[in-house]
A and B are shown apart, each in its own frame.
Chain A
Amino acid sequence: MCSGNRLSERRVFVRGRVKGKLVQEYDKRVRFEQLILPHLEAAYNLARWLTHNDQDAQDMVQDAYLRAFRFFPSFHGGDSRAWLLTIVRNTCYTWLHRQHTDEVFDEEIHDIEAENLNPEALEMHLLDQQKLKEAIEELPTEFREVIVLRELEELSYKEISSIAHVPVGTVMSRLARARKRLQNYLTARSKEEE
């Protein structure tokens, strides 16, 4: 009987070790799901704006979540949303670069002269969410991204700068240019319609 008791002790010990490891994995996933999963909306919204379509956005988000899960042990607190969005953004850019040839984004080329705005047309189109959506879709990716992060996610310049890997000054100038473009697009549309 003595050997029987020792046997069951050892078995419990062995099972405890296997279980301990499983519990650790389980704890990691639970913590990940509590901290990172709530930012799914932000992740999807950014991916959807960057990829222009639902299916690719879903793939990007899933891919980003898997990467985030693997990197999760290296996440030591801080802003979990910005942390996740950085990964989503990188995943999307890798995919975008594979889709197109590697173009280097030139800030200056995308700068445009402000046209004479037609205040009434602008005002009218600002109320039209569909038009606004089109206007954002038309922006170059780098501008679209700052608009989404600033206007829809309401992130600070500093957070955007860390997500987009550019200096704060660049965030500010991209925002200025992006907004100018949006206004021009909205007023240009109104001229066509006239």
Chain B
Amino acid sequence: MNCAEAQSLLHAYIDAELDVANSLEVERHLQRCEDCRRDYNDYQALHSALKGETLYFQVPDLLQKRIQKSLRSDEEIPASVQQPLKHVFSHVHATPWSWLAAAALLVFAFFGIWGITRFWSPINGQHSIAQQVVDSHVRSLMANHLIDVPFSNQHNIAPWFEGKLAYSPPVINLNAQGYTLIGGRMDFVDNQPVAAIVYKCGNHVINFFVWPTNPSNHTSDTAMALQGYNLVSWKAYNMNCWAVSDLNLTILHQFATLIDQHTDIAQGAGPSARGP
């Protein structure tokens, strides 16, 4: 191997990208040739010097949060804003069944509501609870009484409720998912004191109410809008859960899903208890 050949392979040799045979050839040449050896040593020194940690730029603190937040808003945008037409059409081609289901749902909902209002009174109770939940939400925003106990660490809110309620509400930290846990508050809904856990998503406040279910009161899962606020309610582990906010229903549903899943995990029981 002559100098020209050795020089052409020198960088691949330094970067350990050569096959064994060529590596040996270069090595042999470097032992014989002083000029090439000096070049090799200089490049090797440069190669080592570039390993210094100060050359690697550190990620700014808030960048990760900023990205996670934009990922979440990206999940909701395509449906409504980004590509409305394309989205709608792709939906038609992909799942015609969902349109049939939607139509069936409409017909069903019409008869359902008619049936409910005629024969089934508990829904009135549910509606009045929804009204109470909205009232509490509005009051909490107006009266500058959003929280009684601010969130400071993972374990300060649940104990605070312990002395005041006969049950332990799930206090779930969703900071990593973009819902900042602000604190907790005592409130009064459905003729009883209830836990209100307060989250923020951007500038939007979410009030999350939890109280034990009453066996005689058959409420079902709902999503509705009332006085410009959106509400989602569901039941988990014999608890009535209500989330209310001026956020749109999709985000509120997402919030509910997160709470639901993390409650599963926190309870560590039930068939649906598994890690995310």
Q: Residues on A close to B: CB < 8 A?
A: 3-4, 7-8, 10-12, 14-15, 17-19, 22-23, 25-27, 29-30, 32-33, 37, 40-41, 44-45, 48-49, 54, 57-58, 61-62, 65-66, 69-70, 117, 119, 122-123, 126-127, 129, 132-133, 136, 147, 150-152, 156-157, 172, 175-176, 179, 182-183
Choice from B43, B56, B58, B257 contacting A26 with Cβ under 8 Å: B257
Shortest C-beta distance, A85 to chain B (Å), equals 14
Which 8 residue pairs spanning A and B have beta carbons closest together?
A: A126-B49, A151-B50, A48-B57, A129-B54, A44-B59, A176-B11, A22-B257, A8-B220
List 10 A–B pairs whose Cβ atoms lie within 8 Å, in order of A's numbering: A11-B220, A14-B105, A40-B67, A41-B56, A45-B57, A58-B63, A61-B63, A65-B67, A132-B55, A151-B47
A30→B112 contact, CB < 8 A: no
Alpha-carbon gap, A61 to B54, bound state (A): 20
Alpha-carbon gap, A23 to B11, bound state (A): 50
| A contact residues around B229 at 8 Å (CB) | none
Q: Given that A7-B116, A14-B105, A40-B59 are contacting pairs, would A62 and B257 also be in contact in the complex, using a CB cutoff of 8 Å?
A: no
Q: Which of B12, B51, B55, B112 has the most CB of A within 10 A?
A: B55
| B contact residues around A129 at 8 Å (CB) | 52, 54-55
Which chain B residues (35-67) contact chain A, with CB distance < 8 Å? 38, 42-43, 45-47, 49-52, 54-60, 63-64, 66-67
B50→A147 contact, CB < 8 A: yes
Interface residue B151 (Cβ < 8 Å from any Cβ of A)? no
Alpha-carbon gap, A9 to B101, bound state (A): 15
| B contact residues around A61 at 8 Å (CB) | 63, 67
Hey, what's the 0/1 contact readout for B226-254 against A, CB within 8 Å counting as 1? 00000000100000000000000000011
Choice from B12, B45, B253 contacting A18 with Cβ under 8 Å: B253
Shortest C-beta distance, A75 to chain B (Å), equals 15
A172→B11 contact, CB < 8 A: yes
| B contact residues around A70 at 8 Å (CB) | 74
| B contact residues around A66 at 8 Å (CB) | 70-71, 74
B67→A127 contact, CB < 8 A: no
| B contact residues around A157 at 8 Å (CB) | 12, 15, 17
B234→A179 contact, CB < 8 A: no
A172→B70 contact, CB < 8 A: no
Alpha-carbon gap, A17 to B101, bound state (A): 11
A49→B45 contact, CB < 8 A: no
Interface residue B19 (Cβ < 8 Å from any Cβ of A)? no
**How many residues of chain B have a CB within 8 Å of chain A?**
53
Choice from B12, B71, B257 contacting A172 with Cβ under 8 Å: B12
B50→A62 contact, CB < 8 A: no
Interface residue B34 (Cβ < 8 Å from any Cβ of A)? no
Alpha-carbon gap, A7 to B109, bound state (A): 9
Of chain A, the residue at the smallest CB distance from B78 is A70
| B contact residues around A179 at 8 Å (CB) | 11, 43, 46-47
B46→A136 contact, CB < 8 A: no
Interface residue B258 (Cβ < 8 Å from any Cβ of A)? yes
A7→B56 contact, CB < 8 A: no
Alpha-carbon gap, A175 to B38, bound state (A): 18
Q: Given that A25-B75, A58-B60, A117-B42 are contacting pairs, would A15 and B67 also be in contact in the complex, using a CB cutoff of 8 Å?
A: no
| A contact residues around B74 at 8 Å (CB) | 66, 69-70
| B contact residues around A7 at 8 Å (CB) | 112, 115-116, 120, 220
| B contact residues around A37 at 8 Å (CB) | 64, 67-68
Q: Given that A41-B59, A62-B66, A62-B70 are contacting pairs, would A151 and B11 also be in contact in the complex, using a CB cutoff of 8 Å?
A: no
A29→B66 contact, CB < 8 A: no
Alpha-carbon gap, A136 to B59, bound state (A): 19
Of chain A, the residue at the smallest CB distance from B255 is A22
